[in-house]
Amino acid sequence: MYALTEGKILDESDISLLRAYALKVEDGLTDKTFNKLRYAFPQAPIHSLKNTEKRVQFLSGFQPVHYHCCPSSCICYTGPYESLMACPKCKTDRYKDDGTTPQSYYEYLPLISRLRAMLANSSYARKMQYRANHQHDPMKVTDIFDGTHYRSLKETYVMIGDEELPVWFFSDPRDIALGLSTDGFGPFKRRTKTAWPIIIFNYNLPPEERFLKGNIISIGVIPGPKKPGDLDSFLLPLIQELLQLKVGVSAFDAVTKAVFLLHAYLIVVFGDIPAVSMIMRMKGHNAISPCRMCTIKGIRIPFSQVTTHYVPLRREGFPDPQDQYDPSALPLRNHELFIEQAKEVQYAPNDANSERLATLYGIKGVPLLSTLSSLSFPVSFPYDFMHLI
């Protein structure tokens, strides 16, 4: 007998099925070879690959969820777009000519079921005690748990909307710290098309293991062929799960052999500059305030028709008096200012005012991730680099 999520028990036939499927996955057996096993070993309880995968899906709880999306990846039909029949950005119909088949799918792989499975595995559960056992030395940084963002969260009450819960972030040693990353890649040789994987990292695992391929949690791939027009619409299913994890979900702890209330918090988001700018709903390099970390102002080339802004530190040669910037003391953005400006843009009375403010502030609206109080905007660096100086 074998314990599974939330204390459920597997019988011997299910264990045999899982062993066979694990052999296929770990040793890279082809579908054709796997289907031959039941004929090569008729006495063994081996099923067809199709039936095996259905049973594994049922036992694991790893049921993918299909969301309709624009074939150009402008939007995913979630949240405010859920009932629309055409993409509001490119006007492409949601369905094909038959009126029932979606033009494209975004396949989302739920996070909660996989976190539960990790904790239900005694080996994983013990490894995930790393965060709780980490010893913080205030004189040096050895991991993300030495950063000021994480240290401040440990002294902050969890908020659900406007309600303060009587519990701090990471007050339970089994609480999980998560990181998120995304980036575009060209799946084909010519690189004319891109896809965008959304990846979750489990920071409760030791540093030498958390970034191994087998421990990375992929929750979905935005199919492309272009970068997503509204990334938040693709992130919405993840945000909904993260809000559930903030409140707490039941899970089975294989170490204590007990069911408990699992909490997990997203504490860091990272990627290259275009990816993080997209997550934060930043306008990019052509805004007057293009930087996500500071409020340095961009300027245009004097007496030029070029409309692109750039940001030199020394500006003595320009005809109008210009601000001078000290590179060691730039005017940094903070969470309150970022959200205040984002709301001003998002709730502007008309599109013209919204576009003007977006260019001025470099922010196109309120990022969906800002609903998670475990994140600070501008998005925190994984470590507090000032402690390394």
Same domain, 27 and 112: no
Q: Could you tell me the pLDDT band of residue 198, with boundaries at 50, 70 and 90?
A: very high
Q: Average pLDDT in the 93-103 region?
A: 93
Same domain, 303 and 339: yes
Q: Average pLDDT in the 301-308 region?
A: 71
Q: Alpha helices of 159-221 — where are they, by DSSP H?
A: 207-210
The pLDDT value recorded for residue 388 is 35
Which of 129-133, 165-169, 210-214, 373-377 is predicted least confidently? 373-377
Q: Shortest CA distance to 171 belongs to which of 185, 183, 189, 158? A: 158
State the residue range of the domain holding 306: 281-366
Give a yes or no: residue 381 inside a domain: no
Among 278, 310, 340, identify where a domain stops. 278
Q: Average pLDDT in the 176-181 region?
A: 96
Tell me the C-alpha distance between 289 and 299, whole Å.
Answer: 9
Average pLDDT, the chain: 87
Q: How many domains does the chain have?
A: 3
The pLDDT value recorded for residue 7 is 47
Same domain, 102 and 216: yes
Q: Shortest CA distance to 377 belongs to which of 331, 327, 338, 347? A: 338
SS3 5: helix
> DSSP of 6-68, one letter per residue?
GG-EE-HHHHHHHHHHHHHHHHT--HHHHHHHHHHSTTS----HHHHHHHHHHHHT---EEEE
Same domain, 106 and 141: yes
Same domain, 252 and 269: yes
Residue 381 has pLDDT above 80, yes or no: no
Give a yes or no: residue 246 inside a domain: yes
Residue 382 has pLDDT above 80, yes or no: no
Residue 5 has pLDDT above 50, yes or no: no
Can you give the pTM of this predicted structure?
0.84
- Chain-centroid distance, C-alpha 195: 15
CB-based contacts of 251, cutoff 8 Å, min separation 6? 5, 6, 115, 116, 119, 120, 259, 260, 261, 262
- Type of residue numbered 303: F
Give a yes or no: residue 384 inside a domain: no
Tell me the C-alpha distance between 187 and 131, whole Å.
Answer: 35
**Tens-digit pLDDT profile for residues 284-300:** 777 888 888 888 888 87
Q: Where do we find the tokens 């559960």? A: 125
Q: Could you tell me the pLDDT band of residue 165, with boundaries at 50, 70 and 90?
A: confident
CB-based contacts of 315, cutoff 8 Å, min separation 6? 299, 322, 323, 324
Question: If you compute the radius of gyration of the chain from its CA atoms, what whole number of angstroms results?
Answer: 24
**Tens-digit pLDDT profile for residues 241-276:** 999 999 999 999 999 999 999 999 999 998 888 888
Tell me the C-alpha distance between 123 and 47, whole Å.
Answer: 28
Same domain, 161 and 254: yes
Cα Dmax for the chain: 88
| Residue 276 and residue 180 in contact, taking contact as beta carbons nearer than 8 Å | no
Q: Could you tell me the pLDDT band of residue 319, with boundaries at 50, 70 and 90?
A: low
Same domain, 55 and 69: no
CB-based contacts of 89, cutoff 8 Å, min separation 6? 70, 74, 75, 229, 230
Tell me the C-alpha distance between 61 and 50, whole Å.
Answer: 16
Tell me the C-alpha distance between 50 and 56, whole Å.
Answer: 10
Give a yes or no: residue 329 inside a domain: yes
